[in-house]
């Protein structure tokens, strides 16, 4: 060897394994070095040397703030087009400012309204106009025409776009948008305030969308769930299995159609899979702890229970006739009933509206609260067992 012969087999194996590991690491490292060197002209990838990056044109712009820095996950600025960036920034500022005003427009009317009439001809007082989206129907059509005309005058007459100025900076717009008002002196304080405006505008855009969504669903700007009576999920929010911390958990929206029969079928299936998984999990653990049954599984094949391995290895050991017996017993349990309930056979629990109830009252109680607690525990344990057996 390069470092002389190694006679100890264990030491030789350790050194050869180290060589392989180091070689793999070096292959990844050299690719990284080549990539950094190609971009920056330095093997150590100093970002300051990567002058050809299209993002360099925008890394010192307003809005580049911790913790994400220059945030462009869709790569919209990767072409380095300065004019396109300025247009998008102006649009962002405008939407942010409108969103901040809109959020205030949701909040302020909860506390106070203008005095007097919104429309004297219709006898409509300002205090009679509801908050939120409901105001869209209450405000007269002429009122909306006035609002749109006012916005147009502001857009085209007062705050006109000037490509020679910074995005969102209007000649006749002072601090806080006051026409012909005072302006801020250049310096760190101005940069801080302009960054704050961008950050607050971004937050307001998210906030107003949330308010619209809540208002549309519940009729309330503050999204009281109790008011969302049309939700298809309301049919199932009091069902078993709706437990803390997630409540009614349906991330794929399988129950959004509100179909109760389908929900019952899925709940029956969930319970059945959970029960089988709990038995399966016990079937993995019990033979490891208590051992196997005594005697023979198959006399004809001289196969003892002790000869059957634990886990998936048992699949190839159990004779075909044994699997037929198992499948037959499962079909018998599935399609026959040993009680005096009116519905019999597959799906009888669903027909009665009590998924998973087959008359075998192991988990029962005369106390409704205690019974619900036990049935919820069965669902929770079944869900855990399904994850456990897959693992």
Following DSSP, what letter does each residue of 49-118 receive, concatenated?
G-TT-GGGGTTTSTT-BTTTBS--TT-TTTT--HHHHHHHHHHHHHHHHHHHHHHHHHHGGGT---SSEE
Which pLDDT score is estimated for 145? Answer: 93
CA distance 334 to 69: 60
CA distance 106 to 132: 6
- Of 244, 239, 216, the residue nearest 228 (C-alpha): 216
Which pLDDT score is estimated for 181? Answer: 65
Which pLDDT score is estimated for 52? Answer: 59
CA distance 158 to 147: 15
Which pLDDT score is estimated for 190? Answer: 78
- Of 259, 86, 276, the residue nearest 164 (C-alpha): 86
* Spatial contact of 217 and 229, defined as CB atoms under 8 Å apart: no
CA distance 16 to 331: 57
* Spatial contact of 205 and 95, defined as CB atoms under 8 Å apart: yes
**Is the omega angle on the peptide bond into residue 67 within 30 degrees of 0, that is, cis?**
yes
- Of 35, 53, 30, the residue nearest 45 (C-alpha): 35
Which pLDDT score is estimated for 292? Answer: 85
CA distance 358 to 351: 11
Interacting residues of 251 by C-beta distance below 8 A, sequence separation 6+? none
Look up the pTM and report it: 0.49
Which pLDDT score is estimated for 50? Answer: 60
- Measured CA distances, 10 to 3, 4, 17, 365 (Å): 16, 16, 11, 64
- Measured CA distances, 62 to 48, 79, 145, 168, 188 (Å): 19, 19, 36, 12, 12
Which residues does residue 303 pair with via DSSP β-bridges, in sequence order? 298
> What is Dmax (Cα atoms) for the chain?
106
Helices (H), the chain: 9-40, 82-107, 135-138, 141-153, 188-218, 260-289, 320-335, 348-351, 368-390
* Spatial contact of 132 and 216, defined as CB atoms under 8 Å apart: no
Reported residue count of the chain is 391
- Measured CA distances, 380 to 26, 242, 271 (Å): 48, 10, 10
pLDDT tens-place values along the chain, 391 residues long: 555 677 788 888 888 888 898 899 999 888 877 877 766 666 666 656 665 555 556 666 777 777 766 777 777 777 778 888 888 888 888 899 899 999 998 888 888 888 999 888 888 898 888 888 888 888 998 999 999 999 898 888 888 877 888 887 777 776 767 676 667 777 788 778 888 888 888 899 999 998 888 887 777 767 666 666 666 555 666 677 777 766 667 767 777 777 778 878 888 888 888 888 888 888 888 888 888 888 888 888 888 888 888 888 888 888 888 889 988 988 887 776 544 445 455 556 666 667 777 666 667 777 878 877 888 888 888 888 888 888 7
Could you say which DSSP state residue 8 is in? -
CA distance 61 to 173: 21
CA distance 164 to 81: 16
Which residues does residue 247 pair with via DSSP β-bridges, in sequence order? 243
* Spatial contact of 133 and 215, defined as CB atoms under 8 Å apart: yes
Q: Rounded to an integer, what is the distance from CA 73 to the centroid of its chain? A: 18
Rounded (5°) CA angle 63-65-66: 165
Interacting residues of 66 by C-beta distance below 8 A, sequence separation 6+? none
């Amino acid at each position: 060897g390069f470092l002389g012969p190694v006679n100890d087999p264990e030491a030789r194996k350790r050194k050869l394994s180290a060589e392989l590991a180091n070689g793999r690491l070096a292959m990844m490292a050299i690719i990284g070095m080549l990539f950094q060197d190609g971009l920056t002209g330095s093997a150590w990838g100093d970002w300051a040397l990567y002058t050809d990056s299209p993002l360099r044109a925008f890394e010192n712009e307003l809005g580049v703030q911790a913790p994400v820095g220059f945030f462009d996950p869709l790569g919209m600025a990767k072409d380095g087009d300065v004019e396109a960036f300025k247009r998008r920034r102006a649009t962002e500022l405008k939407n942010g400012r409108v969103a901040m005003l809109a959020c205030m427009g949701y909040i302020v009317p909860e506390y106070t309204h203008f005095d007097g009439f919104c429309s004297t001809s219709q006898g409509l007082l300002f205090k009679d106009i509801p908050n939120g989206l409901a105001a869209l129907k209450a405000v007269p059509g002429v009122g909306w025409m006035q609002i749109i005309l006012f916005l147009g005058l502001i857009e085209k007459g007062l705050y006109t776009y000037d490509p020679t100025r910074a995005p969102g900076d209007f000649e006749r717009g002072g601090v806080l948008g006051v026409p012909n008002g005072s302006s801020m002196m250049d310096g760190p304080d101005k940069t801080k305030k302009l960054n704050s405006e961008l950050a607050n505008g971004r937050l307001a855009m998210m906030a107003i969308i949330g308010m619209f969504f809540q208002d549309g669903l519940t009729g309330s700007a503050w999204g009281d769930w109790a008011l969302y009576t049309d939700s298809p999920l309301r049919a199932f929010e009091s069902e078993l299995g709706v437990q803390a911390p997630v409540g009614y958990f349906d991330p794929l929206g399988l129950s959004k159609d509100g179909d109760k029969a389908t929900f019952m079928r899925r709940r029956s299936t969930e319970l059945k899979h959970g029960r089988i998984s709990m038995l399966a999990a016990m079937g993995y653990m019990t033979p490891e702890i208590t051992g196997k049954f005594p005697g023979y599984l198959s006399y004809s094949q001289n196969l003892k229970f002790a000869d059957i391995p634990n886990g998936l290895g048992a699949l190839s050991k159990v004779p075909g006739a044994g699997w037929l017996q198992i499948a037959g017993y499962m079909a018998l349990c599935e399609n026959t009933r040993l009680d005096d309930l009116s519905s019999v056979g597959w799906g009888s629990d669903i027909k009665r509206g009590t998924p998973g109830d087959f008359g075998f009252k192991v988990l029962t109680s005369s106390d409704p609260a205690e019974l619900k607690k036990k049935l919820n525990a069965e669902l929770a344990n079944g869900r855990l067992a399904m994850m456990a057996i897959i693992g």
